[in-house]
Every structure is written in C-alpha cells, then in structure tokens.
A and B are shown apart, each in its own frame.
Chain A
C-alpha cells in the first residue's frame, strides 16, 4: 500500500525534476545568469547565453538522454541481456573513428571552410551508420550472440584504427594532440540550434516507431523459437530495431560525441522502480529517465569543477556506476533482467 503510494509520488516527481533540471541548466553554469532572465533580460549578454547557447544545449541533453535511455531499453530487451547498451553494436567507437577521420581529412588540407566543420560530424555519422549496417547485415543473422560478438569486433577494430589515426594526427599537428579526444568524452555545450533540430528530426520518427514496437521487443524476450512460431522473423525484427536505434544514435554521436552509461543505467533504474520488463513500459520510461540523468549530468559537468568542463561521460559514470552497484546489491542480480 505505502510502496505504491511512494511509486505514485515518484512518477509525479519525475516531470517536476525534469522541469527543474531544465530551468537550472538555463541559469546555472560557469556563468551564472540571474533568475529574472528566464522571463525578461535586460542584459544582452545573458540573453545570448540563454537563447543561443543554453537553450539548444539543454534541449539537446534532454533529447539525447531520451534517445540513449530508450535505445538502451530496446537493446537490453532485444538481446535478452541486462548488460547490453546502445553502443553494444560498436556504433560509438565507429563514430569516434569517423570523427578522427574527418579531422585528419581537414588537417591534410583536403577540406576547407564550412566543409571542414561539417567533416567531423558527417564522417562520424557515416562511420556510425556503416558499422550498424555491418552489424545488421552480418551479426543479426547469427542471433543474439552474433550481434553482440560483431559489435565487440567492430569496437576493437575501430579502436585499432583510431589509435593509428591519432598517431598520424599527432605527427601532423602536435599542438592539437588532446583535442580530438573530446569526441570520446561527449560534449553537449557546443550544440547549435540547427544541430538540435537535426537530432530532433532523426529522433522523432524513430523513437515513435520504437515506442510502437514494444511488443516485438517483448516477443524477442521469449526467445527466437517462440517468435518464429508466431510468424515473426526474429532476425528481421532485430535488424529493424537495430536500424531504428542506430539512426538517432549516430546523429547524436556526430554532434555530441560518446556519452556513456546513460543507456545502461536508465533501463536498469526503470526496471527496478517499476518492477516491469515489458518494452511498453521500459522503452518510454527509460527514455524519460535518460533525459533526467543527462540533464542533471550536463548541469553537474559544468558546475562541479570551476574552470573545467568535466566530460559528461565522467559525470554519468560517477553518478551511474555507484547507483548501479547499489541497485545490484540491493535487488539481487535476478531482478536485473
């Protein structure tokens, strides 16, 4: 009785927390904007900060959080593996590889001007999609294990090539040694409005489709045999699901870099909170939980250490991993599935 009351309170709390996170993100940070600026701002400086910098980046943190959380839930359900995450298919390391490739192309002078700034996100996007295609075409035919294995192989291959690329970049431009690494750490603060709109455009249809395919995810949880007997081809369904997940992921990876842990924590927290594993619950609520986690992580990344922007992945890891440990210890591993 009381526990259901608590649950109801939590459900009510989530939207309030999300709104609070949104507002805090607008005013707090390395530059503190007065509260009054939320409604009307006399100082141009603060108006610019809110309108052109914090609004798109905060919205992006909420959107990308949703994408990560929801796709994490899809992957975990689809692969029947509580350790799966959005990047299990190797998409993140492929995106990093693409980003580095883009930077290298700019450095060797093949690209100039605006093309140069588009090269990094475009190549990150292209590599992410290409890696997903490989996983979808080759991995999914071999079932759940094949998919996971192919993802691991792509990750390792990307790392190997990335290391060589880093060395080449290093030798061309030693002063820019650290910078491409930001691709690995995730950074939301540089999001422009048009970039946010592109992420939104890629996310809206795919996330909607995913929310409507929750029963396919549920069916896959019962095993490939059961699915096949129901006239559903599990290989084809997995292909479609991976594709649906990969498109918004690739786009957000291209603009924000790799943001880890959200995709594994959010579904876990949701399963623990609701006690439910059905995709109809976990997919949308994990999305919202992801938004919540990333919005606050983004805030923390900017105010935790003065002078430095902590990489978001470090913050999500810092908050998420202990949370995960606590939940595993408390709930027993059985409840994790």
Chain B
C-alpha cells in the first residue's frame, strides 16, 4: 500500500471512531433518578436530531365528556416524557421554559409545583390573576434559549420543553443535564386539537390524566362555542401582520390562520409556505377586508403609522373601511402563543370580525388588555374547577 492509501484509511478510521463515539455519547440514556411509582407514558430519549425527536406518537384524544366530532380526531403530538424516571406527584418541581408550557401546567392545576418560569409566562398569567408561587425563579430572558445554569440552579425534578419553540437543536443540551423532560409540541401546534393533545399527554405524563381530559374538553368546548356564534355569518378576508417592511405575515396554514378560520374569517394569504414575506403589491392584490397586526412597534399608534407606510396600503379595502386592528400585549400573546388560552385568541379575532355575534357594539382599533378583559371576560381553565 502506498502512503496515500494508508493516510486516507487512517483518516477514515479516525472519522468513523469519532462519529461512533459521539453517537454513543449522545444516545446514552439520561441517568435515571432513583424514585418510585406513579408516572407513565415512557419514551426514552434518543435525542440528537429532528428525526429522532419527532418519533411522534399518534394519540387519540378521546375527550369523552365532549360530544363534538372533534372527540375522535387523530392527533399527532410529541408530548412525551424522557427517561424511565418516575416521580411522585407531591415532590414535583417543574421548570417551565416558555408560555406554552406554563399555560398547560397552570391550567392542569400544577401551578404550585412550578419552581421556574419565564417572564412572558408570568406576564400572561398575571392577566388572569393566577397565583404564581412566591418563591418561583423568573427567567428574564429566554432568547435564544433559557440559561441552562439558571434552570439547573432551580433544581427542578422535571423540565417542560417546548419543542415547537426551541426546536430540536437545543434539546440535546437540555437532555444532557440528567433531568427528565416533558416535551410538548407547543408553539408548533397548528390546531386546537393538537393543543388539547399536548395538554392531555402532559397531564398523563405528570400523573393527572383526568385533569388533562377536563382541560382538553374545556378547550374543545370553548372553540365549539365560538364556531357556533359565527356560524352562517359571512367570512371576511384577513391579513395578519407582524412587520411592515417587508410585510411579515403568517399564512392560512399557520396556527394564526387556523384561529382566523375558527373566528369566522379567512386568512387570505394562501401561500404554500408559512410566514412568507409579502411585498406591497401582494398586499394590494390580496385587498383584504381586515388587517390585524401584532403590536410590533411596541405601541398601537406607532404600529398603525408603520402599517400606513406600506406603499399602496391606502387603496386596500381594510384601510378604506378602517378595518385595521392592532392587538395589544395580551391579545398578541393569546393569538400568537398556542396554548389552552389560545381559545381567547380566536375569540378576540372573532370579536373583531363579528362584534355583533358577541354583543359588542364598537371594537377599538387598538385592542388593549383592558378591552379584552372587560369585553370577553376570559377566565383561566383551572379557575372554573
């Protein structure tokens, strides 16, 4: 053999060894903590890439208490708990990494077990006067990922990880610290059925499956009641905006598009890809009846002024008929963060599109938190008992 062959062979061997070692390291199951009983739904992590994570368990949510057609909906979800760990419910210490997790945990009545959450969760929960444990650690930043050190420092026994928000790439680092994870589909949920499945599977994983069924049916019932209210009404077209230059919009294949449909409208941005950037020409061509925007400039008047900067916007039906609505802080959270509270997100949009169906005479252009609370009177699922 000549030198070149030997060198390349050695290189290949080293490479194979390196890959093999890495694969071995990564595939090591998270160290089981020695505890007993209760918890269920066991999926051992084989985490490294998207493909391994989305070993989506196909679940059938049978919310038997609800008599809607939704009950037998087959839902793909990834609400799974990692490791063979089982933890007694009373000693649960849960770290909730984002609002989707927090919404689910608090609606399941596990709020008192939460020992760490992020500032955005705290914000939205505070609107609903939900009791947050006083000794909870609040993460002020979760961008681009929450500080692992802070999470470890809070010594949770379980971590709620939103795969839809943080993606599979950060999962490896969170699963490497030896604390079991509840992985929810969360931000990636596209329908209320998927949210309900997230809720139920989380409940099952944490040993409160009955509570999960209650909340899941609460979600389905609320959605049904919105759909009933707007049934038969004309469906106005909507463009939802998250930025103005270029226009950054979810399309009707995203969760927001779905909420608009539930609310008796139609997201007219019918691209085949989610979150397209639209040029002003497209906005004019779509010529939607309504423009609904998140408060992307931080305050309502600035956001309105920014939208009016889009060339040709003055000629769209929405602007001519003054059907431009800016969602305030609370409304934006309700609409844009998929979770049990998203039913109110759909309700906010429904109230904008069909105020008469909700007994509202006048919807302001700026949908403030106060307006949402006083007109829609949303309640937190667990508060209803």
Contacts and interface: CB of A to CB of B under 8 A. Distances in A.
The answer to A–B direct touch (Cβ < 8 A) is yes
Interface of A: 29-31, 44-45, 48-49, 52-54, 56-57, 103, 106-109, 111-117, 167, 170-179, 182, 187, 189-192, 302, 306-309
B308 to A, nearest CB: 8
B355 interface: no
B312 A49 contact: yes
Contacts of A116: 297, 299, 301-303, 305-306
Contacts of B298: 106-109, 172-173
Interface in B307-343: 308-312, 315, 332, 336
B140 A192 contact: no
Contacts of B299: 106, 109, 112, 116
Contacts, number: 135
Given A31-B282, A115-B302, 5 more contacts: A30-B285, A53-B281, A103-B297, A174-B120, A309-B279
Given A45-B287, A170-B143, A189 B280 contact: yes
Nearest to B296: A176
A282 B140 CA distance: 53
A167 B143 CA distance: 8
Contacts of A29: 279, 281
Interface of B: 119-120, 140-143, 242-246, 248, 251, 271-273, 276-282, 284-285, 287, 294-299, 301-306, 308-312, 315, 332, 336
B2 to A, nearest CB: 32
A190 B143 contact: no
Interface centre among B278, B281, B301 (most CB of A within 10 A): B281
A179 B297 CA distance: 11
A268 to B, nearest CB: 29
Contacts of A109: 298-299
Give chain A's interface secondary structure class: helix
Contacts of A309: 246, 277-279
6 contacts: A30-B278, A53-B279, A112-B301, A189-B246, A189-B281, A308-B276
Given A113-B301, A117-B306, A192-B309, A307 B248 contact: no
Given A113-B302, A179-B296, A31 B281 contact: yes
B309 A190 contact: yes
A53 B247 CA distance: 13
A113 B315 CA distance: 20
B276 A48 contact: no
A177 B243 CA distance: 10
A170 B278 CA distance: 23
B140 A190 contact: no
Contact of B305 (A52, A114, A178): A114
B302 A49 contact: no
Contacts of A307: 251, 271-273, 276
Given A178-B248, A187-B245, A309-B279, A56 B297 contact: no
B204 to A, nearest CB: 29
